[in-house]
Each structure stands twice: as structure tokens, then as C-alpha cells.
């Protein structure tokens, strides 16, 4: 019995050390990024394999990856690890639009974001900014999702960057569409 307890203790100690290593690697990489330094990517890859639930590590790898194919693999990994969190889907949206991949998957990404975080200010701002930039290239379904996001942004009472989101709608030319869809919105 004592041997079994000792083994359980040893395994739990090793797991705790591994998780602490992963958290330390993420924290150190964030500090280096904030100060303009570089970090050891292999350390983050190791930490990510040790702590598969830490999506912050994968996000750091995505931000630092220059190779387009590898970045897409990391984004797919992030969406698999945390399918119910908007961060991975936002990375995928940015990636698809930066690579001009206007397809059915883009529609799916926008609908996922609308379901997962319809009132999240960061999601609204990113969808509006990228949607306006690529307005002429996207399908009518994506345009409708952008207008719906604009309606939510105009109705939002979340103070975080509220002025910026409303300015995107107004200055981006979406206000007439917002007013047509939701006449009760402020500024219509």
C-alpha cells in the first residue's frame, strides 16, 4: 500500500512539475514578446505537448510562426483543442482573409464566432474590421453576418472599445444597412 501511495505521489509530483514548466515557458515568452525579444520556440512546443489544455502556448506559437502552412496547422490545432473558445476561430478568420481564402469555410468560421461570442467586443471589432476590408470579396451570407455583428456592436453596452466599434460601423458605411435591419438602433 505504501509503495502504491509513493507511486501516486511521484506521478503527481512529475505532472505538477511539467505543468509548472509549461506555465513558466508561456509567461517567459510573453515577457520576451512584450519587450521585443525572441524566445526559444522549441521550449514552447515542449510546454505545449506537456500541457495540452494551455491554449495560450499555441497562440504564442501562431503569432511567432512565419511559415504559412505551419501557422495554419497551429490554428487548426488550437480550434481542435478549444473548439468552444473564440480565440482559435478569430485566428482562423484572420488567416483566411489574409490569405484571400474566401470560401465556404469562411462562412462557417463567422457563424461559429456568432454562436460562440456574439457580444464579445474583440470578436465584434475583428469581424467588423476584417469584414469591411474584404466586403467586396465575401459572399452575401458573410456580408449578412457582418451586418448582424454591426447591429450587435451598435446595441452593445459593453464599455470596452465601444466607441471604436461604433466608429467602425458608422465610418465603414454599415450604418444604413444596420438601420434597415434593426431600425431601433441608436443613431439610425
Domain locations in the chain?
Answer: 21-83, 103-188
Answer for the pair 105, 89: CB distance below 8 angstroms, yes or no. no
In a structure prediction context, what are the per-residue pLDDT tens digits for the chain, which is 188 residues long? 677 666 665 666 566 565 555 556 555 555 554 555 555 666 666 666 766 677 777 787 787 777 889 999 989 989 998 899 899 999 998 898 888 888 888 888 888 888 888 889 989 998 898 888 888 888 888 889 899 999 999 998 888 888 899 999 999 999 999 989 888 887 77
List helix spans (H) across 35-187: 41-50, 55-64, 68-81, 86-98, 104-116, 121-133, 140-155, 162-171, 175-181
Per-position b or e across 118-151, b if 16+ CB within 10 A of its CB: eebbebbbbbbbbbbebeeebeeebbebbbbbbb
Amino acid at each position: 500500500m505504501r509503495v502504491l501511495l509513493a507511486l501516486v505521489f511521484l506521478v503527481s509530483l512529475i505532472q505538477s512539475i511539467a505543468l509548472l514548466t509549461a506555465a513558466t515557458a508561456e509567461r517567459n515568452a510573453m515577457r520576451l514578446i512584450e519587450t521585443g525579444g525572441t524566445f526559444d520556440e522549441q521550449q514552447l512546443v515542449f510546454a505545449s505537448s506537456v500541457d495540452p489544455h494551455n491554449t495560450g502556448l499555441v497562440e504564442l506559437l501562431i503569432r511567432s510562426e512565419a511559415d504559412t502552412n505551419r501557422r495554419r496547422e497551429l490554428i487548426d490545432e488550437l480550434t481542435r483543442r478549444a473548439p468552444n473558445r473564440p480565440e482559435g476561430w478569430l485566428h482562423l478568420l484572420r488567416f483566411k482573409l489574409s490569405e484571400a481564402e474566401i470560401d465556404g469555410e469562411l462562412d462557417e468560421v463567422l457563424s461559429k464566432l456568432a454562436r460562440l461570442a456574439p457580444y464579445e467586443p474583440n470578436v465584434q471589432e475583428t469581424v467588423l474590421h476584417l469584414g469591411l476590408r474584404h466586403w467586396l470579396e465575401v459572399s452575401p451570407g458573410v456580408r449578412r453576418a457582418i451586418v448582424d455583428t454591426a447591429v450587435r456592436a451598435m446595441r452593445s453596452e459593453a464599455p470596452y472599445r465601444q466607441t471604436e466599434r461604433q466608429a467602425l460601423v458608422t465610418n465603414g458605411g454599415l450604418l444604413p444597412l444596420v438601420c434597415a435591419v434593426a431600425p431601433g438602433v441608436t443613431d439610425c
